[in-house]
Amino acid sequence: MYDLSLFHITRPSSIKENAPLLIMFHGYGSDENDLFSFSSELPEDLFIVSARAPYAMQPFGNAWYAIHFDAAQNKWNDTDQAIQSRDLISKFIDEVCETYPVNRDNVTLLGFSQGTILSYAVALTYPQKVKNVIALSGYISEDMLPETLPKDDYAHLSFYCSHGSVDQVIPVEWARKTPEFLSRLNIKHSYSEFPVGHGVAPQNFYEFKKWLEPLIG
């Protein structure tokens, strides 16, 4: 564990140098241990880093940005904090690539919920730092992106996107807008839905694992 911008835990690769890198970003109110439970089932040649979001919550958990509620229980995102986290993750990717024996040209981001929203924002804002994105139970928040997106920079990207069809936290309708958005940018992508709420079904895990394996070689 090195003192980088974000607290994180790691699982070394079976490859001693130039390993494909997978960085995990948990959801709102969780921590770095959540998605890390996937590690034992993922390919051994992956160097896995699971990061903790920078904003501590009370009494426990962490967030990539605050979610505010008004008197009518409408909620909205703290976009300024989200953009700060987006840029912090970009810096963190650089630090990880400088610190660990990984291939900076083979970086996959894996996010869940708020971690997915940030993974989309990072990949679309800093596409040169990312190769693949696994986007679980999230959506593209356009207010976290630059005003103009350079289409030519996205040809190398691949996205796996999935959502629960009965998600009670993030409406599936929000996620269903993703394929059209990515298609407009000519980004390679896969989109799946599973009959679950706000979570990752076993068949969802096996599908994204199968999707990822040929892309990290």
The secondary structure of residue 53, as a DSSP letter, is P
Residue 70 in this model has a pLDDT that exceeds 70: no
- Tens digit of each residue's pLDDT (9 = 90 or more) over 131-140: 999 999 999 9
Q: How far apart are CA 11 and CA 211, in angstroms?
A: 21
The per-residue pLDDT for 76 is 76
54 closest CA partner among 35, 34, 26 = 26
Q: How far apart are CA 188 and CA 17, in angstroms?
A: 28
Q: How far apart are CA 212 and CA 76, in angstroms?
A: 33
User: How much is the mean pLDDT over the chain?
Assistant: 94
Q: How far apart are CA 105 and CA 127, in angstroms?
A: 11
- Tens digit of each residue's pLDDT (9 = 90 or more) over 41-62: 999 999 999 999 999 998 999 9
Number of C-beta neighbours around residue 172 at 10 A: 14
The per-residue pLDDT for 3 is 77
Q: Do residues 190 and 160 touch, judged by C-beta distance below 8 A?
A: yes
90 burial via Cβ count (<10 Å: 0-12, 13-18, 19+):
middle
* Mean pLDDT, range 66-94, rounded to an integer: 86
Q: How far apart are CA 198 and CA 137, in angstroms?
A: 7
Number of C-beta neighbours around residue 202 at 10 A: 9
* Mean pLDDT, range 13-42, rounded to an integer: 97
| Domains of the chain, first to last | 8-215 (3.40.50.1820)
The per-residue pLDDT for 72 is 60
Band the pLDDT of 118: cuts 50, 70, 90.
very high
Band the pLDDT of 149: cuts 50, 70, 90.
confident
Band the pLDDT of 81: cuts 50, 70, 90.
very high
Residue 150 in this model has a pLDDT that exceeds 90: no
Q: How far apart are CA 182 and CA 131, in angstroms?
A: 14
